[in-house]
Amino acid sequence: MSRWTRTRAGADLGAGPRSRPRGQAGGERAGLAADPHLGGQGRLQTEAAQTRFSRPWGAATLRRMSVSPRAYRLPRHVRPVAYDIEIEADPRRSDFHGQVTIALEVETPSRTLELHARGLRLWEAVVEVDGQARPLALWLDADRQTVTLLASEPVPAGQALLRLRFAGRLGAGMHGLYLASDGRHQVLCTQCQATDARAIFPCFDEPEFKARLRWTVHTGPDLLVLTNGPLQEVVRRPEGLTYRFHPTPPLSTYLAALVIGDLDSSPQTVVRGTPVRVLAPRGQGGQTRFAHALTERLLPFYEDYFAYPYPYGKYDQVAVPGFDAGAMENAGLVLFRQNLLLMEPGTASFRQEQSIALVVAHEMAHMWFGNLVTLRWWDELWLNEAFAEWIAHKAVHALWPAYRVWESFQQDKHHALLDDALPTTHAIWAPVSTPEEAIEMFDAITYQKGCALMRMVEEFVGEEAFRQGLRAYIAAYAGGHAVGPDLWRHLEAASRWPVGELMRSWIEQPGFPLVAVELEAGGRLRLQQRRFFSSPRDAAAPSEQRWLVPMGVRFEDEQGVREHRFLLREREQTEPLPARGAVRWCYPNADGVGLYRLALDDGMLRALTGPALQQLRPAEQMGLQEDLWALVCCAARPIETFLEVLPALAQVRDHHVVRGLVDRLEVLDLFVRDSGDRAARGQLRALVARLLQGQLEELGLEPQPGEEPEAAQRRAVLVHGLASLARVPEVIRHAEVLAERERLDPRAVEANLAGVVVHVAARFGEASRHACFVATYLARRDSGLPPQQVQRYLYALAAFRPPELVARTLSLITDGTVPQDAVGVLLAQMLSARHAQEQAWAVLQANWEALRVRMGDLGLSRVVESVGHLRPQWRQDIVAFFQQHVPRGAERALQRALEAMDQREELRQRVTPGLLRWLGG
């Protein structure tokens, strides 16, 4: 699953509000008895069961077991082999019903069969052994989310068939079976990870239970149905259509998927024997070509890399109009947010294209790593997601190097290190016992830190050895389950390096090291490692933690620029460089691959911020900048040291470095603004102008014919900095002109610049412009323009400053105008912005119950974490509110929010006096 990443204002993430027409209840179609609890004509057939037992455990008298749900796992004496799922559903109805037949392997005789179910009505439970059907009593436990089926006599060891009828209502959020809607389109779709298949049909809903899935779906006329397996046949009936599908190979239920709607498709192609399609809501089929072309190249890449053919019968990718995650790797049927799959050439920025490529690559990688070889339990989730994130970057870098994905990843890695520098971070591997804890694992530590670790390990053992170890691992566990140590053993066998020892040092303890480096005479490095904390108080505390740190050093001597690699094992260690003559400069994190911060001695820092800075690669320049800022945060360096290197950093002509520079200037701007010193505010604006204006003058305010993507991306960052931070009048005026030009014709402004100028226009806009932006968003949505052109107006609404316009934007969230999967994005932006956060916090509190459902699990975590940007005087209010309204599945996000708030305030108080003095000097 692709999680959300942090995005700047004006960035695009999907769309899709929730609206569901009232549908019929009950009724019978295609021979399925409707659930009487939903008003149909079906009849409970539990009389036989009720007469055999002293307690009436039939479906009409469901009882709850008062057992704690914490850490509960299904027993292992019964395992599913295959599911035959027959379901009736239609986007025009709010309910669904069906029956499931489960082929079982019973290891020991037992009177009880236990499986998962949540929010379902169940009846007609029957187990068949040797052709003899035996009715079963039903006992639901809503807390455990299980159903216990009790037979009058033990079910013998061997094979058995279990049949249950079920019915339910569509999910109110974006999980289980739900109606995805963006205000224009409506599609029924599923999201089962981590534990939501049980809300669609009764099943063994733990990843260890893999079984074949076969779907039969009854729906209304003129609707397309997709499931995990290839289509077998479509039967037209008077009341609608019946779709039957071929069974899949064994899958965990979190990978089950169903889509019903009116969809367009790219022309199907066959890639090495696999049918491939990309599908979108009706009218947007032309926006599928880019992703389809990506897929045609990625699938052979992965087959060759793993030396294993694609394991499922077809590969469909669907953009749905409302999705909580970025995308979901359901076997054979991958679902996406619209903006992460659909686009038209020329309508998306280079970064948006890059994001689509990475998400498509990430989800496809899961077909082998996660689906074919599956985690045993959710505490191994990190391995699934970290690996998919790493190999997605590797694949995109290999196939489309112009995207420079590893340089872009540095920013994601630094965001993960910010979270990992907090005391309440978690180890990459962490025990999981409940669905809520599983949801909390979808975070930056699992994805970005895990990805960085995989990259560092590959660099350590060597690319070919790493690949051979992975191939052996896939071959050994294909179709089954594995855990991290299984992979480490295969990597060790292929490389003969101590991979297991290294990995344990990184995944079993939280945090990461700060490596202090001194360059001594004769080219020797003296190194010390200790855990890095961003809080000065925590940084000063003793720490016994130690990592095995693969280190790469780039340095220049008389022979030129060279590299040296070694393993830092001890807390203190000396390493001689193989230098000839004097070492002119040295950077101990070659290509930014290492997962650590650097504290360089004064001489090394002076050398690297002088002429040598231009000899560093962009990832290294970014690392130098971010590490120095991190040292300011933990009070290891004064703010003046960081300020003194700003002019040198501003000489770098790379958009990744410039983006990082502008990010840090935004933090300084916030500190100066909070100080109330108007003179200092003017001085900071002048500083920003001096640092950035020369670069923009070189590039020009508008694109030049034939310029490289690097220039276009750098221009966009510079315009944002000079307009929003420096408040340069001519840049603001020009941005407003371009924004109006884009509003009239979305292709009239270069795509990398379009989102930025729209955001700038909103930042300085009044009521009439706000109304115009709302109307533009709605008109573009309804006309089916590419999501990138639609969403730039939706997310720009958060930038309007006047309080009455902030209130108006928030009203669009509460009245349902903002699509469901955009609620969390927009609300998080407003909670993070000084001008909007107090109003946004009030709206969040007043509408908590409704918004938490609309936002989805991942959206909830995003919003809860954003409250950490509120001013510290709101801290007690935040704590009191969430004590009364516990954010289930986002408790860890709340901890991060409060810690970040405290640390941000400590940093502000500590550095602001020096910052003001420096600006005034």
Burial of 98 (0-12, 13-18, 19+ CB in 10 A): buried
**What single-letter amino acid sits at 359?**
V
- DSSP letter string, 456-516: HHHHHH-HHHHHHHHHHHHHHHTTSEE-HHHHHHHHHHHH-S-HHHHHHHHHSSSS-EEEE
Q: Would you place residue 808 in the very low, low, confident or very high pLDDT band (cuts 50, 70, 90)?
A: very high
pLDDT in tens, 568-593: 999 999 999 999 999 999 999 999 99
Q: Tokens 């077809």: give the residue.
A: 314
| Bridge partners, residue 261, by sequence | 187, 224
Amino acid, res. 561: V
Report phi then psi at 245, rounded to 5.
Answer: -125, 155
Is the pLDDT reported for residue 197 higher than 90? yes
Task: Report the 10 Å Cβ neighbour count for 744.
Answer: 10
| Band (5; pLDDT cuts 50, 70, 90) | very low
Rounded to the nearest 10°, the torsion over CA 301, 305, 309, 310 is -60
Sign of CA dihedral 185, 246, 32, 178: negative
Mention every residue, 6+ apart, whose C-beta is less than 8 A from residue 232: 244, 245, 246
* Rounded-to-integer distance, Cα 491 and Cα 465, Å: 7
d(CA 921, CA 907): 21
Is the distance from CB of 638 to CB of 918 less than 8 angstroms? no
pLDDT digit string, tens, across residues 457-466: 999 999 999 9
Percent of the chain predicted with pLDDT > 90: 87
Q: Is 632 exposed, middle or buried (0-12, 13-18, 19+ CB in 10 A)?
A: buried
282 with 185: CB under 8 angstroms? yes
What's the N-to-C CA distance of the chain in angstroms?
51
pLDDT in tens, 74-106: 999 999 999 999 999 999 999 999 999 999 999
User: Strand (E) positions, 195-255?
Assistant: 212-219, 224-227, 231-237, 240-245
CB neighbours of 98 closer than 8 A, spacing ≥ 6? 32, 85, 86, 87, 88, 165, 166, 167, 201
Handedness of CA 61, 67, 72, 76 (dihedral sign): negative
Check whether 794 has a pLDDT greater than 90: yes
Catalytic residue IDs: 363
CA distance 735 to 756: 8
- In the chain, how long is the greatest CA-to-CA distance? 94
What proportions of the chain, in percent to the nearest 5, are helix, strand and coil?
45, 20, 30
Instruction: Answer whether 507's CB lies under 8 Å from 382's CB.
Output: yes
pLDDT one-digit tens code per residue, 877-903: 999 999 999 998 899 999 999 999 999
* pLDDT at 2 (0 to 100): 73
Residue 15: its pLDDT value, please? 29
Preceding peptide of 194 cis, ω within 30°: yes
Confidence bin at 48 (pLDDT 50/70/90):
very low
Q: How many residues belong to the chain?
A: 921
Is residue 4 pLDDT above 70, yes or no?
Answer: no
Q: Does residue 118 sit in helix, strand or coil?
A: coil
> DSSP per residue over 663-731, as a string?
HHHHHHHHHHHHHT-HHHHHHHHHHHHHHHHHHHHHH-SSPPTT--HHHHHHHHHHHHIIIIIS--HHH
Tell how strand 78-88 and strand 95-106 pair up. Answer: antiparallel
Tokens 């029957």 sit at which residue?
Answer: 126
Handedness of CA 667, 673, 679, 682 (dihedral sign): positive
Residue 444 structure tokens: 């930056």
Sequence-distant (≥ 6) Cβ neighbours of residue 781 within 8 angstroms: 15, 182, 183, 184, 790
- Tokens at residue 764, please? 């300085």
| Rounded (10°) CA dihedral 262, 267, 268, 270 | -170
Q: Which amino acid is at 276?
A: V
DSSP secondary structure letter of residue 534: S
pLDDT digits 0-9 by tens, 681-706: 999 999 999 999 999 999 999 998 88
What span, in angstroms and rounded, lies between the C-alpha atoms of 113 and 77? 9
Q: What are phi and psi of 127, to 5 degrees?
A: -115, 135
Q: What is the pTM of this model?
A: 0.92
Reduced to 3 states (helix: H, G, I; strand: E, B; else coil), residue 564 is strand
pLDDT score of 320 = 97
Cα–Cα dist 56/63, whole Å: 9
Whether the pLDDT of residue 138 is over 60: the answer is: yes
The residue type at 202: P
Pairing status of strand 315-320 against strand 274-281: parallel
Mean per-residue pLDDT for 637-664?
A: 97
Residues 812-835 have pLDDT tens digits of: 999 999 999 999 999 999 999 999
Q: Residue 878: which residues within 8 A CB-CB, separation 6 or more?
A: 841, 867, 870, 897, 898
Burial class (CB in 10 A: 0-12, 13-18, 19+), 667: middle
Q: Encode pLDDT of 6-35 as tens digits.
A: 333 333 323 232 232 223 222 222 333 333
Average pLDDT, the chain: 91
Residue 33 DSSP symbol: P
pLDDT, average across residues 324-350: 95
Reported confidence tier of residue 72, pLDDT bands at 50, 70, 90: confident
Give the Cα separation of 363 and 385 in Å (integer).
9
Least confident stretch, 292-301, 438-447, 489-498, 667-676? 438-447
